[in-house]
Amino acid sequence: MITAGLASVTFRGRPVEQVVGLAADAGLGVVEWAGDGHVPPGDLANAARVARWCREEGLAVGTYGSYYKPGDSDPADFAAVLDTADALGAPRVRVWAGVRGSAETRPAERAAVVDDLRRCADLAAARGVAVTAEHHVASLTDRLDSALRLLAEVDLVAHWQPREQPDVRECLAEVTALRPRAVHAFSWGPDGFTDRLPLHARADLWRPLLALLAEDGRDRDVLLEFVPDDSPEAFRRDAATLLSWLEDLR
State the pLDDT at residue 190.
84
Residue 164: its pLDDT value, please?
79
Query: Chunked in runs of 10, what are the mean pLDDT values of the chain (250 residues)?
Result: 97 96 98 96 98 98 97 97 98 96 94 97 97 93 95 96 89 96 94 89 97 95 96 98 96
Domains and CATH numbers, the chain: 2-249 (3.20.20.150)
pLDDT at 250: 85
Predicted confidence at residue 7, as pLDDT, reads 98
Please report the pLDDT score of residue 189 as a whole number. Answer: 87
Provide DSSP, the chain. Answer: -EEEEEEGGGGTTS-HHHHHHHHHHTT--EEEEETTTTS-TT-HHHHHHHHHHHHHTTPEEEEEE----TTTS-GGGHHHHHHHHHHHT-SEEEE-S-SS-TTT--HHHHHHHHHHHHHHHHHHHTTT-EEEE---SSSTTSSHHHHHHHHHHS--B-EE---SS--HHHHHHHHHHH--SEEEE-EEETTEEEEEE-GGGGHHHHHHHHHHHHTT---EEEEE---GGG-HHHHHHHHHHHHHHHHHH-
pTM reported for the whole predicted model: 0.94
